[in-house]
Amino acid sequence: MKCPHCGQYLENTLWEALQPYKSLNLPVVVTNIDSILEVGPRIRAIFEEKNGNLKIRGFQAVTLKKVARSLKVPLYYIERLDDQVYLYEFDTNQPVESGPFLRADQLLPVFSGSVNELGEWIMEKFVLPSCSSLSGGKNRRR
């Protein structure tokens, strides 16, 4: 099944399994998370990727915000057009203001560049600082 608003593929096993109960109008949302960045023993950030357009469904924005807040990590939205990448951060302390889609003015642009440059940005912001703190003689546990 595709979203009538953005054309993205929605159906997954959980969504399909709950379809017989849709008529009960229960407060259930099924969404996914595109990427979770884990470095060492900690989750460092959540990323949601939108290819070609930055239309973020309101209900998905609310769920992703809740997950990021509970993990105390930043929430980023990636817009990719071929090799050009735009990265936006969503402040998880603000309310989600949306209609069918999240309002674009709620997103803070934090990066623009190629896919390779995004890799460098992620390494500098999340990976290298985390690895240097891990090598300080602490035992790593999972």
| pLDDT, mean of residues 86-102 | 93
pLDDT in tens, 103-132: 989 999 999 999 999 999 999 999 998 887
Radius of gyration, CA atoms only, the chain: 17
CA-to-CA distance for 14 and 53, rounded, in angstroms?
26
- In the chain, what are the domain boundaries? 34-134
User: For the domain with range 34-134, which CATH number is right: 3.30.1540, 3.40.630, 3.40.1350, 3.40.50?
Assistant: 3.40.1350
* pLDDT value of residue 96: 94
Mean pLDDT in residue range 58-73: 95
Q: Report if pTM > 0.85.
A: no
pLDDT score for 47: 97
Can you tell me the distance from the alpha carbon of 98 to that of 88, in angstroms, rounded to the nearest whole number? 16
- pLDDT score, position 9: 56
Q: pLDDT digits over 3-26, tens only?
A: 545 555 556 788 788 888 988 988
Q: What percent of the chain has pLDDT over 90?
A: 56
